[in-house]
Chains A and B, each alone.
Chain A
């Protein structure tokens, strides 16, 4: 165990002495802190924050049917931006137990803005009351869902069709004043995109305030996987969203493997990493085109779409699926890389590298494009830290986080594997997010080439038991194209899925979009939105 982990652990033990019990888990370097009293949560969270930890996510579980007969809320922390690099690869889980008859907890959202959505989600899906929450509106469940019906409680039967109750319009902040106009946008848009409703309060073209409403594609997938075997649940998780299929599938597999104690063969680890980087590459390249579309720069739109298409056709040649589905599987990978496939990857990579430099050259030499990108949609560094923003959005605002380095796994953790060079920008505007994507795409190209040249030989898959060890917990963070996605998985007494929770990168980043939008005018909002390029499906689940 690394020294820094030990230092951090002893500091946490010191700060919370007498108020909590400590144990290692779920991973060997992770720490679980069980609070004696749920009312201590704000104080304990403040202590963990002072120790340099930042909130990654919050997982609620319904354990009424178990021996403990309670609801639990787990606050998962990881070392924050303030800690020195290299950061200890550790997760700290703060566990609070609640009375199932009156599940109530003091809210931490006022001091930890990153907890805002998590608490509201637990309120909607578990009926847990977070007292003194600054914005206690419903988040996941929309108007008309019956009160007192909590879908993720074990006693809720997901096969039922609840009767919709009459309800008021979407609760949002009403801005008042002379000339203030509310502009409702979506959930149905003129283009073919995912559904989201945006309520702008504007004066002229200036955006004063933006209230987004998401979760139109909430499919109850976390409820759906409960009771399934890990092998079956994998197919659901891999399909939570299209463009993060590898990242989400892999996160779930690694959590399963952590519970089962399975060691994945090194060739499989390398191929998994390769798939992650290919996914990042096609997303980043496609996003360049999307940002150009936001600025109405037609050449860039087409160039981005063309390169993305070539990469997705490569995906299809590799796996038979344009989203690289079906490659990763619990225990390893399903498909091998033949020398023919390696050649076609190298060919597409060379074309992509050339096209990328060509496009960037044109963008950087087009004042009309740069004028649209510069100072548009600025996300301040402190806001990014407070909201727990991750991925490209965080790094473009100078927040140095990357799960590939901070929680190394697969080939990133192998001694012979490639090391990720994390890039950051400081301006936090659309231009910074664009340049950062290009830098990361170049880094992905380098990583893929390094992986291809040093591909280890050996088995592709290790056996994973159909039934997991009872009550085992898996906790993994994967750097998806949009940022770190954190997976929390627990097996039930029969070794099937008891609870699975995904905090996708988009979920963490959505609250930052309204802040960035406030620095822009209405016609620039699509550009700001596209520079974040967040996914609705993996936010809504």
Chain B
């Protein structure tokens, strides 16, 4: 297939993730509200919030440098670019002519977005930003290597870190070929995704208690369109992480060609997988309290350990 077609598909898939990110957040919020016996806002509320923020003015701390203004754009850009690495509907079976789907690059870009947001939080000079940033980096320190190991554990089988390639190979064998390392890696990923999505038991996206914040603490000094960019980055990141689980472990139903039937099936599969994993996030968030911060390393350590064992078993 032509290079241009590949790029167009990657961009279309990234666009899909960016556009649907807020809807997934809306779904999780609605599910949580129902589990708490509340009506809750409707599914489209995150879009309304983004639209509202985009029309607002910006207030900036006197101590912030010009770099602070660039932070939201950089964080969103890194996230959107990482979304292009992700096979969503379409996993090509032929040799990919351009390196458009590398898992290492994807994780690095997500880490870059986190790093830029944290630097921006320090730059604003507020106490909560620094606190949130230092906590977020502590969490990142534990989550990022574990995610790498999970990806490597799967990548070793196919001999490629190209997510599209991995998805294409695994989809033919599907769940029948699962071995112990796959189960361990999946478990590790399920432990890690709430942390990566900034959700309970590691972080609480709904809180207004500044002293407890992780990710939200970093966003406190941002306002208006900048905050909208960061919020959109958060929504997109959550959907990317959800899709990472689907691409690595449940790559069923993905389209290999361009026929409408294949794409329709892929879209339905994507919706179903996203729904299941978003439900997982919502149910976890409604069932548990947030961990005491010093317990977070223990919890994430569990994910790290499983990821490590999975990789070790695979190599040995």
Q: Could you say which of A182, A184, A297, A371 contacts B295, with CB atoms under 8 Å apart?
A: A371
With a 10 A CB-CB cut-off, give which of A182, A303, A372, A376 has the most chain B CB atoms.
A372
A376 to B289, alpha carbons, bound, how many Å?
15
Q: Is the CB of B37 within 8 A of A205?
A: no
Stretch at the interface among B164-172, B198-206, B259-267, B268-276: B198-206
Any B CB within 8 A of the CB of A463: no
A522 to B292, alpha carbons, bound, how many Å?
10
Q: Is the CB of B36 within 8 A of A298?
A: yes
Q: Is the CB of B200 within 8 A of A191?
A: no
Nearest CB on B from A429, distance (A): 13
Nearest CB on A from B133, distance (A): 13
Q: Could you say which of B37, B135, B204, B288 contacts A368, with CB atoms under 8 Å apart?
A: B288
A306 to B33, alpha carbons, bound, how many Å?
13
Any B CB within 8 A of the CB of A51: no
Any B CB within 8 A of the CB of A175: no
| In the complex, chain A residues 350-399 whose Cβ is within 8 Å of any chain B Cβ | 366, 368-369, 371-372, 376
A525 to B212, alpha carbons, bound, how many Å?
8
Q: Is the CB of B212 within 8 A of A526?
A: yes
Q: Is the CB of A306 within 8 A of B289?
A: no
Q: Is the CB of A525 within 8 A of B211?
A: yes
Any B CB within 8 A of the CB of A302: yes
Q: Could you say which of A182, A293, A298, A525 contacts B32, with CB atoms under 8 Å apart?
A: A298
A493 to B250, alpha carbons, bound, how many Å?
86
Any B CB within 8 A of the CB of A294: yes
Chain A, residues 195-216, CB within 8 Å of chain B (1/0): the string is 0000000000100000000000
Q: Could you say which of B127, B204, B208 contacts A191, with CB atoms under 8 Å apart?
A: B208
Nearest CB on B from A533, distance (A): 14
**Chain A, residue nearest B292 (CB):** A372
A184 to B211, alpha carbons, bound, how many Å?
10
Any A CB within 8 A of the CB of B137: no
Chain B, residues 189-203, CB within 8 Å of chain A (1/0): the string is 000000000001100
Q: Is the CB of B37 within 8 A of A191?
A: no
**Chain A, residue nearest B36 (CB):** A302
Instruction: Give the chain B neighbours of A181 by CB distance below 8 A.
Output: 127
Q: Is the CB of B220 within 8 A of A372?
A: no
Any A CB within 8 A of the CB of B290: yes
Instruction: Give the chain A neighbours of B38 by CB distance below 8 A.
Output: 302
Instruction: Give the chain A neighbours of B37 by CB distance below 8 A.
Output: 302-303, 306
Q: Could you say which of A185, A302, A369, A521 contacts B294, with CB atoms under 8 Å apart?
A: A521
Any A CB within 8 A of the CB of B315: no
A306 to B35, alpha carbons, bound, how many Å?
13
Instruction: Give the chain B neighbours of A525 by CB distance below 8 A.
Output: 211
A372 to B212, alpha carbons, bound, how many Å?
13
Any B CB within 8 A of the CB of A173: no
Q: Is the CB of A526 within 8 A of B201?
A: no
A294 to B286, alpha carbons, bound, how many Å?
15
Instruction: Give the chain B neighbours of A306 by CB distance below 8 A.
Output: 37
Chain B, residues 274-306, CB within 8 Å of chain A (1/0): the string is 000000000001111111111100000000000
Q: Is the CB of A294 within 8 A of B201?
A: no
Q: Could you say which of B135, B286, B289 contacts A372, with CB atoms under 8 Å apart?
A: B289
Q: Is the CB of A185 within 8 A of B127?
A: yes
Q: Could you say which of B211, B291, B295 contacts A526, with CB atoms under 8 Å apart?
A: B211
Q: How many residues of A contact B (CB 8 A)?
A: 33
With known contacts A295-B289, A296-B204, A368-B289, A190–B35 Cβ distance under 8 A? no
Q: Is the CB of A523 within 8 A of B212?
A: yes
Any B CB within 8 A of the CB of A172: no
Instruction: Give the chain A neighbours of B35 by CB distance below 8 A.
Output: 298-299
Q: Is the CB of B211 within 8 A of A522?
A: yes
Any A CB within 8 A of the CB of B131: yes
Any A CB within 8 A of the CB of B207: yes
Q: Is the CB of B209 within 8 A of A526?
A: yes
With a 10 A CB-CB cut-off, give which of A182, A296, A522 has the most chain B CB atoms.
A296
Nearest CB on A from B256, distance (A): 42
| In the complex, chain B residues 14-35 whose Cβ is within 8 Å of any chain A Cβ | 32, 35
Any A CB within 8 A of the CB of B210: yes
Instruction: Give the chain A neighbours of B287 by CB distance below 8 A.
Output: 299, 366
A278 to B264, alpha carbons, bound, how many Å?
59
Any B CB within 8 A of the CB of A317: no
Chain A, residues 173-196, CB within 8 Å of chain B (1/0): the string is 000000001111100011100000
Any B CB within 8 A of the CB of A78: no
Instruction: Give the chain B neighbours of A189 by CB distance below 8 A.
Output: 208, 210
Instruction: Give the chain A neighbours of B291 by CB distance below 8 A.
Output: 368, 371-372
Q: Is the CB of B211 within 8 A of A523?
A: yes
With a 10 A CB-CB cut-off, give which of B206, B207, B208, B209 has the most chain A CB atoms.
B209
Besides A185-B210, A299-B286, A368-B291, 17 other CB < 8 A contacts?
A181-B127, A183-B127, A190-B209, A191-B208, A191-B209, A292-B289, A296-B212, A298-B206, A298-B285, A303-B36, A303-B37, A306-B37, A372-B290, A523-B292, A523-B293, A524-B292, A524-B293
Residues of A whose CB lies within 8 Å of any CB of B are: 181-185, 189-191, 205, 292-299, 301-303, 306, 366, 368-369, 371-372, 376, 521-526
The 7 closest A-B pairs by CB, nearest first: A296-B290, A191-B208, A302-B36, A297-B289, A296-B204, A526-B209, A368-B288
- What are 29 A-B pairs with beta-carbon distances under 8 A? A185-B127, A185-B211, A189-B208, A293-B207, A294-B209, A295-B290, A296-B206, A296-B212, A296-B289, A298-B32, A299-B35, A299-B286, A301-B36, A303-B36, A303-B37, A368-B289, A368-B291, A369-B288, A371-B289, A371-B295, A372-B291, A376-B292, A521-B293, A521-B294, A523-B212, A524-B212, A524-B293, A525-B211, A526-B211
